[in-house]
Amino acid sequence: MASDLEKFLYLATHDLKEPARKISTFGDRLKRELDGNLNEKAELFLSKMIDSANRMQEMLDKLHELSRIKTDAQAFETLDLYELENIRPYLQTKNLSVYGDRKLISRLFDELLDNALKFGSIPNPEIVINSEKTEEEGFVKITFENAGNAIEKEFETEIFFPFKKLNGKNDFPGFGMGLVIADKIAKLHGGRIFLKNDQAYSNRFYILLPSQKAIE
């Protein structure tokens, strides 16, 4: 069922991009053709139409990207997280290994880093990546904590919904898909991500990923 849904999502987003692109293209042509001949209100409406079409294209691109995660997975391997340059400066635990696709695991942490840097309450917020004991045999439990205004408990699940943004759409760039992609990657590996905050000025994500033992 999940595979059928992913195929549908892949095909639908691919096919829907063409009409969205045409709306944007012909809107731009119309704007140039009528340059200087539109009243202020008509020009505003046309600009809004073009902006909305461009935004739709970008949203479809993100959905298309989400649908391809499983397809993009390559051979799984035992991976020491210290080998990933993007998170090396933040790692507090040595010899922390997972079993998975190197490129996708790196992408998972890229999305978490981007989220932390984008929504941190201060420039260059402190980010700490560590590990904790877990009762789930065959898995490692990784903590990703960043300084910033804590996400309220009522939104701890919603932040993993596609296009869910807790801020206004114009307050920050993006479409609310980063954490969705990270969660999809974790689930592809048989793991998961969840958020649990107990402080007002930081966010703590928990990432469960398999060890070599879990896969074997």
Are 145 and 128 in contact, with CB atoms under 8 Å apart? yes
Is residue 130 predicted with pLDDT exceeding 80?
A: yes
pTM of the shown model: 0.76
Which helix (DSSP H) or strand (DSSP E) does residue 103 occupy?
helix 102-119
Three-state SS across 130-143?
Answer: EEECCCCCCEEEEE
Alpha-carbon distance of 8 to 64, in angstroms, equals 10
Q: Where are the domains of the chain?
A: 2-67, 76-215
Kindly report, residue by residue over 40-66, the tens digit of the pLDDT.
Answer: 898 899 899 998 888 888 888 888 777
Alpha-carbon distance of 211 to 207, in angstroms, equals 12
Kindly report, residue by residue over 7-45, the tens digit of the pLDDT.
Answer: 666 666 677 778 888 888 888 898 888 887 888 898 899
Amino acid at 55: R
Residue among 97, 65, 58 nearest 81 (CA):
97
Residues 97-121 have a mean pLDDT of 86
Name the least confident of 62-66, 96-100, 107-111.
62-66
CB atoms within 10 A of CB 98: 26
Note the pLDDT of residue 98: 92
CATH number for the domain whose boundaries are 76-215: 3.30.565.10
Note the pLDDT of residue 167: 59
The angle subtended at Cα 65 by Cα 28 and Cα 179, nearest 5°, is: 110
Q: Which residue has the higher pLDDT, 43 or 117?
A: 43
Is residue 171 predicted with pLDDT exceeding 60?
A: no
Please, what is the average pLDDT of the chain?
80
